[in-house]
Structure 1
Amino acid sequence: MNNADKLKIGNKLFDSRLMLGSGKYRTIDDAVNSINSSDCEIVTVAIRRLPTNLTNDNTSFLKFLDWERLWLLPNTAGSQTAEEAIRMAYLGHELACQIGQEDNFFVKLEVISDPKYLLPDPVGTLKAAEFLVKKGFTVLPYINADPMLALHLEDLGCATVMPLGSPIGSGQGLNNLANIQIIIENSNVPVIVDAGIGTPSEATMAMELGADGVLLNTAVAQAKSPEKMALAMNLAVQAGRLGYLSGRMEKKYYANPSSPLNQISQLISE
């Protein structure tokens, strides 16, 4: 990839546009090997799943990752209210400090009060985002693919917007394609497609639309070979980004020969 084509979130620059989750893996080895194979630079971790003190815990997979290369993205998964999410965000910063990232105020903001479909709560998300932005956090809000909500969150000062492709963990793909495209067209902050992607081709499709990045977890963690799928997702995101930057050919109603007759005649005469 072009060295100038970096992903900027807040005041941080990243080479990789693939972000990987850390849940649902069968083993710690699967998680660590997949993260390494993906070549991602941002790893998101649910604060509720971690011990409050990593120093005295030798079982957490965080101990096996290279935090000189990786950037921790704490997420507030499991928070049903804005207040819960805010508390989780502060705990996330404390955990980032424990791995040597004292300047890490990133938070993936999730406020989900719907237990069946796990759809994000727009009102709670707005409320928590406004508070956390004012407190200096770099807020990456997880939202439904709602173009107006995305604009409101951008106006509040969120560093990205993260619309879902389909319900989290469903693997249904990009069911909200039209709305995601509207969000991409209207956004002045990075758009990260988050949730629902199940295959590398779907990751490529999101990037070809012009998304700035993709965050996924279950598609890798629950694959038969998580490490291979992580590599496939890495290549898919790169391919989609290159395709978007290259600019696709214009669609035509009729066939257009690859070797036009006048070009063939010219070759014969030569």
Structure 2
Amino acid sequence: VAVRRVDLDRRNEQGILHHLDPQRFFLLANTAGCYSADEAVRYARLAREAGFNDFIKLEVIGDRETLLPDVEGLLQAARTLVAEGFRVMAYTNDDLITALKLADLGVAAVMPLASPIGSGLGLLNPYTVRTIKSRLSVPVIVDAGVGTASDACITMEQGVDGILMNTALAEAANPETMGRAMRLAVEAGRLAYLAGRMPRREIAVPSSPISGLID
């Protein structure tokens, strides 16, 4: 729930929160639309006062065109919110050093982007996401950029703990069918990761024995 973009008064029947029972649904507040650490902290506190739980998806945007995160502001806001008892899920770029710093601050999860928000470009840099996952002990949830089921499958093959998606479903011609496709893709990608893929080779290797051939 984008705290800055919704009516937080649950009594208002025109607002979405009036129709969502927090006892039935897990409502994750986020600081979407915040362009400074101070803004993000203020809206996180507002979410808590409005009755949300202690989880907060922390976004501090640094550029209005690409919506890429402001790393300096993100770290500043994360430090403040963790100290205040929030369970911070930090949206960040796919940079290992930033991810390590966030983990050191005590965030609940690190959320590197696959590609820019709403772009649907899929996972642009599997290596960096895979490296982040291998180095962190906190959950790694890829956020932003997944556009279709194949993107979700490839992302889960990197070993991450999950994917957060919105636009890929909301803008699909048939959101319900796309949702089912995404679920199956996530399951397939996770299973492939657990199974362990064959090594990549730059030469051909026969798939059947080459000894004992009949002349």
TM > 0.5 fold call:
yes
CA displacement 1:15-46 (0-9 Å, x = unmatched): xxxxxxxxxxxxxxxxxxxxxxxxxxxxxx11
Q: List gaps (5 residues or longer) in structure 2.
A: none
TM-score when scaled to structure 2? 0.91
Deviation at 1:228, TM superposition (A): 1.1
The partner residue of 1:151 within 100, 106, 114 is 100
Segment drifting more, 88-97 vs 185-194: 88-97
Aligned to 1:21: none
Deviation by residue 1:60-105 (Cα, 9 ceiling, x = unmatched):
34444564453111110011111110111112223444xxxxxx20
Matched, 1:51 2:1: no
Q: 1:170 is matched with which residue: 105, 111, 119? A: 119
Corresponding residue for residue 148 of structure 2: 199
TM alignment of 1:90-101, pairs within 5 A: 90-97=45-52
Q: How does 1:72-221 map to 2 (within 5 A)?
A: 72-97=27-52, 104-221=53-170
Number of aligned residues = 213
1-side partners of 2:87 and 2:143: how far apart?
A: 17
Aligned residue for 2:176? 227
**C-alpha root-mean-square deviation of aligned residues, in Å?**
2.2
Distance 1:210 1:77, change over 3 A: same
The yes-or-no answer on 1:242 pairing with 2:197 is no
C-alpha distance in 2, partners of 1:64/1:261? 66
Q: Is the 8 A contact 2:54 2:87 kept in 1?
A: yes
Give SS of 1:161's match.
Answer: strand
**DSSP 3-state at the match of 1:72:** coil
Structure 1 unmatched ranges of 5 or more: 1-44, 98-103, 266-270
Equivalent runs, 1:16-35 vs 2, <5 Å:
none
Partners of 2:178 and 2:163 lie apart in 1 by: 14
* Higher share of residues assigned strand: 1
Tell me, in whole angstroms, the C-alpha distance in 2 between the residues paired with 1:233 and 1:92.
29
User: What are the superposed Cα offsets for residues 216-270 of structure 1, whole Å, 9 maximum, x if unpaired?
Assistant: 111110000111111111111111111111222334532433x6588xx9xxxxx
